[in-house]
Amino acid sequence: MGQTPPILTMTGIGKQFPGVTALSNVDFRLFPGEIHALLGENGAGKSTLIKVLTGVYPHDAGEIELAGQPVSFSGPSQAQHSGISTVYQEVNLCPNLSVAENIFIGREPRRYGQIRWGELRRRSTELVGRLQLDIDVTQQLDTYSIAVQQMVAIARAVDIDAKVLILDEPTSSLDASEVQQLFQLMRRLKEAGVAILFVSHFLDQVYEIADRMTVLRNGRLIGEYMVAELPQLELVSKMIGKELQVLEQLEEQQQKRPPVATLERGTPVLDAEGLGRSGAIEPFSLAIHKGEVVGLAGLLGSGRTELARLLFGADKADHGRVEMDGQPVSLRGPRAAMARGVAFSSENRRTEGMVEELTVRENIILALQAARGWSRPIPRRRQDELVQRYIEALSITPADPEVEVRNLSGGNQQKVLLARWLITEPRLLIVDEPTRGIDVGAKAEIQRLIARLADGGLAVLFISAELEEVLRLSHKIAILRDRRLVEELENTEEIDTDRILQSIASGVVVEGEPV
Amino acid sequence: MSAVLRNRLFWPVAILVLLIFGNVFFTPTFLSIEVREGHLYGSLIDILRSATPLALVALGMTLVIATGGIDLSVGSVMAISGAVACLWISEQPDQNAVSGVLVAVGLALVLSLLLGAWNGMLVAAVGIQPIIATLILMVAGRGIAQLITDGQIITINSSAYKVIGAGYWLTIPVSVIIVAIVAAITMVITRRSALGLLIESVGGNPSASRLAGIHSGRLTLLVYAFAGLCAGIAGLIYTSNVSSADGNNAGNLVELDAILAVVIGGTSLAGGRFSLVGSVIGALVIKTLDITIYTVGVPTNTTLLFKALVVIALCLAQSPAFRARITGRRPAAHGKEVAA
């Protein structure tokens, strides 16, 4: 490299949202004819960086230079005119129009105000021919697969004289052969000198296609690396980070890990056999016992949430069966799972957890009330009693049950969600990312609470992106990778984060039983 | 809790009071109520009586809107209900017989309930968007009402039936008593049981509600059926008052007024928190507005335009984007996208 000047340079980019620093002093550069992967866990600032680049958000600090000229875009269309095109995960085209119409929509060749259809078809055919795509441009777009639609979107972007092409999660809804088709197109564009910014959760794909990568974590730049020079294992540890010293100090009094030896495993509370759902998670088997915490580890998109949703009946499994206490059960929906004593606290507090305009009290009693049905209200005195008890037990602040839950901090909202499920007296508690986005103090409290509940005999399925947390709480750790449960480990002294990272990054089973 | 309630009802009550005082300015006797021939009599009583069908429809509409839906078919259901009752009575040998009237009322109400349940089924089980699902009955219902009345206006002469819309009991209009009873029962059921909470939860966040184990389908069916029933009662009051059933004009555009009443009453069209008292006050505001336009001397054919302006103003006031533009700040939606 070195010889060619970068086509795009972003220097010292900063972006604040109310109460959150989304980006802080981030540098990013992109060379013509390279594929550059932008990597980071959820919330690392990848989307924000792209939105700053394309003018969706104004940036608070830093400079953007395109081909040596300082630029500042007021919106994506302006960015597009300057040669920066973006193709999003969901194809932003009109499925009911023809391929040709989609390619030229908004910039149709015209004469005297009339669209020149012949010209439009000729130029579209020429364009797909140049990109070596086998597409009939007169066909309606939705007669083609998502992969082809994505390539039409790319063709459209490229035709608007793109110097920089941003592909945001282009492969997330494609199967393996479609990914290869897409990669071929990307390679051809790269040879033509287009600079491609590639965002993906799939690290194997990054290693296959990208030349260079930039890693972000918590809105900060971790570094820029040549793909060939950074092993996958190291990349994963850079993405996840080890910022937990503070937390560990808070946790000193607690045992390092739960005593696996003393756990008596009888009949599992829940035993899944070959449970799976196509497109979400491949068939897996998993048993969770009374008093046991089973941790789920894996990168974002590895199928952690999908697995949990099957066990709660939030999504229907199309393979396998579930036994609870040795009895076969059918988890048709959340209510059926609840009736069996399963509780599920979603990772999306805002969209799937809180009912924001309801009060803390109403949010806490919601699941219990739903289980009783509308005609058997929980007497108000009993509600107040229960809510008060959990506000105290979980130290929810403010301790006012009648305040709207949207006014609480993330950590307190998480506690409200836990309280909602704890008052239903579940036998299996599934918690998906209960500590994400909350401050260290609240994090430690929630961890302590989960450990205490398990000591009291509750079976827990604990999902977290933070490996230290999983290690600290779990008796058993199940590792997911690319929507497959690849390994199940007893959490003994030999297991450490490196061992788990290895499994997450490569899927190679070094020791322990393959599943 | 009471502070929130007061806050929520402040504006509708303020508008109502303002309108009434505006009327006193033009008609000094506006507030006077006297007893004539054993009836309460006066402008305020007129407003109450004329607002009864709308208030009933608004009660049902409130719960539908609280679940995040909407019901456009209420006017047609009103027409069908009135047409069925009047047809049955007109075919009785003795139109004054109480038993015949009771059967007519029963038939009309059961049919209204079923029509509402049909809407609910389309929304909850088939998954059609509420506005489209209820549009079907809005259009088809007029046709059904026309079929029932055979395209004619059915005129009846039944003193027993007339009691519903035009009768008095202890000087108070019977229609007002009916609305008061329905409103009271609805409030008690929604607030004393957990129904209100679950409806607000489903309207506030459907996916969170599903994961909390709420059967939103059943609730949806229930609220649409209830909206149908309310519209049915409104249809009885309307036809009873004029002793005739007009399939074409009964309940015409009442859906617009009812939605407006609900919005004035402080229930958001996005669903969630609802206020039944607010909707009843909203209905009174609209009827007072009608009378005000009339007494002030604005031609009645501009009433609709005037109301439309009020709707636009209210919707704009509810829109966060519009409020942000007025105050000159960008909407605070950005924070949500940080984690994306």
Pairing of strands A195-199, A212-217: unpaired
A36 membership: H or E segment, kind and range: strand A35-39
Chain A residues in contact with chain B using a Cβ-Cβ cutoff of 8 Å: 17-20, 22, 42-43, 47-48, 51, 57, 312, 314, 334-335, 338, 344, 346, 350-358, 362, 365-367, 369-378, 402, 420, 437
Task: Please enumerate in sequence order all residues whose Cβ is within 8 A of that of B276, keeping only pairs 6 or more positions apart, or say none.
Answer: B59, B62, B183, B186, B187, B190
Give me the count of residues in chain B: 340
Which tens digits make up the pLDDT trace of A160-171? 778 899 998 887
ipTM over 0.90? The verdict is: no
User: In this structure, are residues A98 and A141 in contact, taking their beta carbons and an 8 Å threshold?
Assistant: yes
Would you state the pLDDT for residue A508?
46
E strand spans, chain B: 34-36, 39-41, 153-155, 168-169, 172-173, 244-246
* Nearest Cβ partner for B200 among A335, A358, A378: A358
- Best of B197, B222, B268 to substitute, by most chain A Cβ atoms within 10 angstroms, is B197
A172 exposure class (CB count in 10 Å sphere: 0-12, 13-18, 19+): middle
All structural domains of chain B = 52-297 (1.10.3470)
| Interchain CB distance below 8 Å, A375 and B211 | no
Min Cα separation A338/chain B (Å): 7
| Fold topology of A245-255+274-463 | Rossmann fold (3.40.50)
**Whether residue A410 has pLDDT greater than 80:** no
User: Which residues in chain B (268-307) have CB-CB distances under 8 A to chain A?
Assistant: 272-273
Min Cα separation A143/chain B (Å): 25
**Whether residue A253 has pLDDT greater than 80:** no
| Interchain CB distance below 8 Å, B204 and A358 | yes
**Whether residue B191 has pLDDT greater than 80:** yes
* Nearest Cβ partner for B194 among A353, A358, A374: A374
User: Which residues in chain B (219-238) have CB-CB distances under 8 A to chain A?
Assistant: 219
Q: Is B8 on the interface with A (CB under 8 A)?
A: no
| Interchain CB distance below 8 Å, B194 and A358 | no
User: In this structure, are residues A318 and A278 in contact, taking their beta carbons and an 8 Å threshold?
Assistant: yes
Q: How many CB atoms lie within 10 A of CB B19?
A: 18
- The model carries a pTM of 0.71
Would you state the pLDDT for residue A448?
85
Task: Please enumerate in sequence order all residues whose Cβ is within 8 A of that of A63, keeping only pairs 6 or more positions apart, or say none.
Answer: A9, A10, A11, A12, A70
Which tens digits make up the pLDDT trace of A426-485? 999 999 988 876 666 677 778 888 888 998 889 999 998 778 888 888 999 999 988 889
Would you state the pLDDT for residue B318?
56
Phi, psi (deg, nearest 5) at residue A510:
-80, -50
Cα–Cα nearest to A339, from A327, A331, A347: A331
| Interchain CB distance below 8 Å, A376 and B195 | no
Domain ranges for chain A, please list them: 8-240, 245-255+274-463
| Interchain CB distance below 8 Å, A374 and B198 | yes
Which tens digits make up the pLDDT trace of A24-76? 899 999 999 999 999 887 667 888 899 899 888 888 889 999 888 898 888 88
Question: pLDDT confidence of A261, banded at 50, 70, 90?
Answer: low
What CATH number does the domain located at A8-240 have?
A: 3.40.50.300
Would you state the pLDDT for residue B195?
93
